[in-house]
Amino acid sequence: MSICLAEWLTHLNREYLVEYIPQGGAAVKVAVVPTFGIESANSAIVKMARNHNIFIADVNAAVTKAHMIQEIYFAVARQVDWRKDIEQHLRLLLINHGIQVGEMQSLDDLDGIAKANDRSRSDVLSGIPYSHNSTKLRSSRSSKRGRN
């Protein structure tokens, strides 16, 4: 089956980016695009995904051994901003536990976060369920112990 690029992009946006993925779905979409259309297709897809705050990874079979599933995984994993995602997640956990953190405030600044919230440092740490306690939040305390 063949459809024009504009029609495919409209379908991708409506069916996947607007409805399916925000409802919890995950999707892998493949497009075979003539060489002259690759740049415009990629930029349109990236723009649409970003407009919906959806992560998109570009895996090109010309440079990735796409027949080996682990190579696809590695190619996608290299494109994830893990630190940013973890920091956003930790900020939400703190906020959901009534601990306000300024947008520009470093999560390493436990004393500053505690002071701004009229809490103790241990209260800030306890605002994150144990399974989510991060090395980042505990690093300053752990590194001080290690130097004794």
Give the per-residue SS3 of the chain.
CCCCHHHHHHHHHHHHHHHHCCCCCCCCCCCCCCHHHHHHHHHHHHHHHHHCCCCCCCCCCCCCCCCCHHHHHHHHHCCCCHHHHHHHHHHHHHHHCCCCCCCCCCCCCHHHHHHHCCCCHHHHHHCCCHHHCCHHHHHHHHHHHHCC
88: pLDDT strictly greater than 60: yes
Residue 68 above 60 pLDDT? Answer: yes
pLDDT at 4 over 70: yes
Closest C-alpha among 100, 89, 102 to residue 131: 89
Cα angle value 30/3/41 (rounded, 5°): 50
pLDDT computed for residue 103 by the predictor: 85
Task: Reply yes or no on whether the pLDDT at 20 is more than 70.
Answer: yes
**CA–CA separation, 53 vs 46, rounded Å?**
10
- Digit-coded pLDDT (tens) for 91-116: 888 888 888 998 888 988 889 999 99
- Banded pLDDT at 74 (limits 50, 70, 90): very high
Q: What is the pTM of this model?
A: 0.58
